[in-house]
């Protein structure tokens, strides 16, 4: 009888674990994408640097999370970023600026002081809120010319989303908000020339 119980217990454990595993949904991974169209009409800035973007601590997570416009954070279960969000934002802004300034040397920072670009961009993401059908990005950016601040601007950008939007539509909208932010940065850079 004891030998049958020893054999039966592991079999029951495997059965229970497989029953639990059938209810686990796999993670879905998302990334931001540059969506700015290539332009060619700008005067060339020899070099533009994009410093690593700064984000609030509550956004610095592997899972998708967004503010509801008030005090509540909305977390999407099983929806994850495919890379650290800070890196994704910096990469997306850099690629957007490459499209806007195709004849300039554009690189993501950090860089050595001796290799500092002509104009550096520092971006702070202050909040990303989803309220009703609107997604709102609250950000600020600073333009630095040879290490001296030449412009600081706070922007609030909004995108309309369809009712009942999916996390994929949310990520796509975030990419478009970063494109809008890149175009604001572009105007600031052009004004400095």
Overall average pLDDT of the 109-121 stretch:
89
pLDDT tens-place string over residues 44-80: 788 999 999 999 999 999 999 988 888 999 888 899 9
Residue 23 has pLDDT above 70, yes or no: no
- Single out the residue of 98, 81, 104, 62 nearest to residue 179, CA to CA: 98
Share of the chain above pLDDT 70, in %: 85
CA distance 117 to 29: 34
* pTM, rounded to two decimals: 0.84
**116 class by beta-carbon count within 10 Å (0-12 exposed, 13-18 middle, 19+ buried):** middle
The beta-strand segments (E) located in 51-118 are 63-67, 73-81, 105-108
Element (H, E) at 28: strand 28-30
Cα angle at 106 between 102 and 108, to 5 degrees?
145
Of the two residues 37 and 32, the one the predictor is more confident about is 32
pLDDT at 149: 76
Report domain extents, the chain: 28-191
Instruction: Enter the CATH code of domain 28-191.
Output: 3.40.50.10610
**107 class by beta-carbon count within 10 Å (0-12 exposed, 13-18 middle, 19+ buried):** middle
pLDDT-derived band at 2, boundaries 50, 70, 90 = low
């Amino acid at each position: 009888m004891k030998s049958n119980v020893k054999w039966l217990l592991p079999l029951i454990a495997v059965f229970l674990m497989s029953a639990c595993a059938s209810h686990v949904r796999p993670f879905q991974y998302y990334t931001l994408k540059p969506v700015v169209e290539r332009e060619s009409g700008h005067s060339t800035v020899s070099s533009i640097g994009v410093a690593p973007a700064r984000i609030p601590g509550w956004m610095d997570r592997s899972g998708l999370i967004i503010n509801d416009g008030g005090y509540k954070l909305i977390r999407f279960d099983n929806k994850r970023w495919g890379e650290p969000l800070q890196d994704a934002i910096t990469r997306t802004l850099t690629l957007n600026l490459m499209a806007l300034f195709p004849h300039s040397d554009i690189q993501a920072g950090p860089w050595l002081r001796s290799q500092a670009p002509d104009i550096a961009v520092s971006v702070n993401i202050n909040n990303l809120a989803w309220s009703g059908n609107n997604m709102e990005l609250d950000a600020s950016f600073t333009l630095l010319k040879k290490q001296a601040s030449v412009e600081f601007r706070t922007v609030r950008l909004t995108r309309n989303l369809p009712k009942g939007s999916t996390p994929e539509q949310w990520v796509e909208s975030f990419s478009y908000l970063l494109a809008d932010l890149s175009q604001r940065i572009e105007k600031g850079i052009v004004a400095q020339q």
